[in-house]
Every structure is written in structure tokens, then in C-alpha cells.
Amino acid sequence: MDLATILQILDSTVRLGTPLLLACLAGLFSERAGIFDIGLEGKMLMAAFFSGAVAAITGSVLLGLTAGVLSSLLLSAIHGAASITFRGNQLISGVAINFLASGLTVLIGQKWFQLGGRTPPLSGDGRFAPITLPFAETLREVPVIGPIYYELISGHSILVYVAFAAVPLSWWLLYRTRFGLRLRAVGENPAAVDTAGISVVRMRYAAVMICGLLTGLAGAYLATALSAGFVKEMTAGRGYIALAALIFAKWRPVPALGATMLFGLLEAIANRYQNIDLGGVVLPVQFMQALPYILTVVILAGFIGKATPPRAGGEAYVKER
């Protein structure tokens, strides 16, 4: 395997890992505040649809992105209302959001475009174009560093850089600000936060909204950067893989980057090689595709460290009993 091949695989890893990373960070904010969210998949799907649809109608990818994020925020608000204000079951609300998104996207898509839920293909300004970073062309000839810079780091869409920037930003927000401390506390011991005179409800809504923003970006990335338009069910389980990555990363931002990129790498390798021959033992491609889930189960079973979810996760906060 030469450098060019490795770079191509890593390049593919970045593209495939980015939606997972955004969704994983989204889940992180929500779950750290004590709101389980298995509706990541549905929110991504909804955002993918509206970004694709609005970009197709207006021809502007930025309007598409805005619409995608707004639709995702709306679903987040529904999830918030159901699980924070009305103290419903968070898992059921999440499942409902997944079903809602799966049905609504196709229904609205059919109504608007008569293409069976697909949106018209995007071109030109309707898509996020790859960005060539400064000096990428000139540095290209420099051995080793040149190709790495040109192939791997340069040439992605803006949302990829946003996603990577979101990792340190999330870390700083969660661990170095008053807001972050309160957010984490709400997920561990909401009664204590309430005693300190801070609104649990407001903190949780804020977390859920951040979650909506990030899933919105993830969905828009799928429909307007990676592909050119929306196809029904195009998230294809990425929301669930992101949840697996969240557990794998033990609800921490920097390991989330590692976990999502690892899962992206596994998918990239599976795309490149159908069967991997390890000197006599052949690894079928299905094994590679199942590996993210296997790894998550291994982590959950406690073989590699201990994954402890936020203590108040999944429970609605009741002020007085």
C-alpha cells in the first residue's frame, strides 16, 4: 500500500466521518444535559431534505443550509417539548421523530417535485463546492507533506472544516465555561442545579437546540455537499452509528472525533476492499460493516474501560415530588 492509496482512504474517511462527527457532537450536547436523543437520524434526514429542496428551488446552498437547520431545530423543539415540558418518555419521542421525518420528507418531496420524494439534482451554487486551501497547489510537489496537505486537508467543503472546528469549540464550551458546567450538571444532578437557582428547563432546551443545529449541519452536508440532492432514507442509519460513536467516546468531545473518524475509516476501508486477506484469513466486507456495532457492544460490556452515561439521562426533571 503506497502513500497515495493511504491518502485516498483517509480522504474518504474524512468525508464519511464528518456527518457522523456532527451528529455525534449533537447527541453529546443533548445527552450531557440529560435528554437522550435517538432522533438524530430523523433530524438529519429532515435537514437533508429541506436543505436539498430549498437549494433546488432557490439555487442557493446557503438558503438550503438555513432551511435544513431550521427544520432540524423545529424537530428538536418538538423533542424538547415532549420530553422536557411534558415529561414524556425521551426514547419514544425520539423514535416518533424518526418515523415522522421518514414519512414527511417523502410526502412533502412528492408534493413539491413529483419525483417520488427525491429532490431535483443540484448543480453549481446549489451545492457546497470543495475549498482549495491557500498554497495547496504550490505545496503539492513537496514530498510527503505536499500530498497530505493537498489531498487530505485541502479540498473539502466548508462544512467539514466547521465540523472539525466544532470539536475544540465543544470541549471549550463544555469544560471551560459556566454554561458548560451547568449543562453537564443538569445531566448529572438537575436538583442541585435547580437549588442553585438555575432553570433546568432552560438549560435543557438550550442543549436540545444546539443538538438541532448540529444535526441540521450534518443533514445539509449529506444532501448538498456529499451528494447533489435528497434521496429518501438517505441517512441510511448514520444517526444510529453516531449514537454508537457517542457511547464509544464515552460522551466526551475529543474522543468523539476519534470514534467517528474510526467508524469512517472502517467504512472507507470496506468501500475500498471488498474482502481483506490477512494471510490466510479472509475478512468479509460484512464484518467490516458490522464492526462499529461490535466495537460499541464491546465498550458497553465494559471490556475497554467503563462507559457511564450521564446520571440523570432519560429522566424528566420534576421540581417537587
Partner 1 sequence: MSLMTHFLGAAGVLALTTGAALADPAIIFDLGGKFDKSFNEAAFNGAKRWADETGGSFKELEMQSEAQREQALRRLAEAGSNPIVMTGFAFGDVLNTVAPDYPDTKFAIIDMVVEQPNVKSVVFTEEQGSYLVGMLAAMASETGTVGFIGGMDIPLIRKFACGYVQGVKAVNPDATVIQNMTGTTPAAWNDPVKGSELAISQKSQGADVIYAAAGGTGLGVLQAAADQGILSIGVDSNQNHLFPGKVLTSMVKRVDNSVYEAFIDGDALEPGITVMDLASEGVGYALDENNEALITAEMKAAVDDATAKIASGEIAVHDYMADNTCPVE
Task: Compute how many other C-beta atoms are within 10 angstroms of the C-beta atom of residue 304.
Answer: 12
Least distance from partner 1 to the Cβ atom of residue 207, Å: 28
Binding-site residue total for partner 1 (CB under 8 A)? 34
In this structure, the strands spanning 276-278 and 281-283 are antiparallel
- The yes or no reply on residue 32 touching partner 1 (CB under 8 A) is no
Q: Report the residue from 16, 24, 28, 208 that binds partner 1 according to the rule CB under 8 A.
A: 16
Nearer to partner 1, 30 or 105 (CB): 105
Amino acid at 35: I
The C-alpha cell at 178 is 459556566
Q: Is 74 exposed, middle or buried (0-12, 13-18, 19+ CB in 10 A)?
A: middle
- The yes or no reply on residue 271 touching partner 1 (CB under 8 A) is yes
Nearer to partner 1, 16 or 28 (CB): 16
- The yes or no reply on residue 85 touching partner 1 (CB under 8 A) is no
- The yes or no reply on residue 148 touching partner 1 (CB under 8 A) is no
Which residues, in sequence order, are CB contacts of 299 under 8 Å at separation 6+? 247, 248, 250, 305, 307
- Give 28-82 as a DSSP string: HHHHHTT-----HHHHHHHHHHHHHHHHHHHS-HHHHHHHHHHHHHHHHHHHHII
Q: Report the residue from 74, 125, 146, 232 that binds partner 1 according to the rule CB under 8 A.
A: 232
Least distance from partner 1 to the Cβ atom of residue 12, Å: 6
- The yes or no reply on residue 236 touching partner 1 (CB under 8 A) is yes
Least distance from partner 1 to the Cβ atom of residue 101, Å: 14
- The yes or no reply on residue 275 touching partner 1 (CB under 8 A) is no
Q: How many residues does the chain have?
A: 321
Phi, psi angles (nearest 5°) of residue 311: -65, -35
- The yes or no reply on residue 212 touching partner 1 (CB under 8 A) is no
Q: Site mask, partner 1, residues 88-127, x = CB under 8 A?
A: ------------------x---x---xxxxx--x------
* SS3 assignment, position 276: strand
- The yes or no reply on residue 12 touching partner 1 (CB under 8 A) is yes
Nearer to partner 1, 73 or 268 (CB): 268
- Give 257-295 as a DSSP string: HHHHHHHHHHHHHHHH-SSEEETTEEE-HHHHHHHHHHH
Q: Report the residue from 107, 289, 294, 311 that binds partner 1 according to the rule CB under 8 A.
A: 289
Residues 150, 6 contacting (CB under 8 angstroms): no
- The yes or no reply on residue 228 touching partner 1 (CB under 8 A) is yes
The C-alpha cell at 207 is 442543549
Nearer to partner 1, 114 or 195 (CB): 114
Question: Looking at residue 275, what DSSP letter applies?
Answer: S
Give the Cα separation of 129 and 119 in Å (integer). 19
Q: Report the residue from 274, 281, 305, 308 that binds partner 1 according to the rule CB under 8 A.
A: 274
- Which positions lie near partner 1, rule CB under 8 A? 4-5, 8, 12, 15-16, 19, 106, 110, 114-118, 121, 222, 226-229, 231-234, 236-237, 267-268, 271-272, 274, 285-286, 289
